[in-house]
Amino acid sequence: MARDVLCEVNNCKYWATGNKCRAEAIYVVSNRGRQASTTAETDCKTFEPKL
């Protein structure tokens, strides 16, 4: 399992300094409802905007 998860989405509540993700788990899905074949066909469902 990955030790560090990097994220550049700094408007996410789980974003931390150094582009680190501090969520306890990451949930990524195919955004087309079928098996993804490219990075662009995936979405991070863990994202929550900062309030």
DSSP string, 2-44: -S--B---TTBTTEETTTEE--SS--EEETTSS---SGGGEEE
Question: pLDDT tens-digit profile of 9-51?
Answer: 999 999 999 999 999 999 999 998 889 999 999 999 999 999 9
Q: Is residue 48 within 8 Å of 14, Cβ to Cβ?
A: yes
pLDDT at 33: 85
Q: Where are the domains of the chain?
A: 1-51
pTM of the model: 0.80
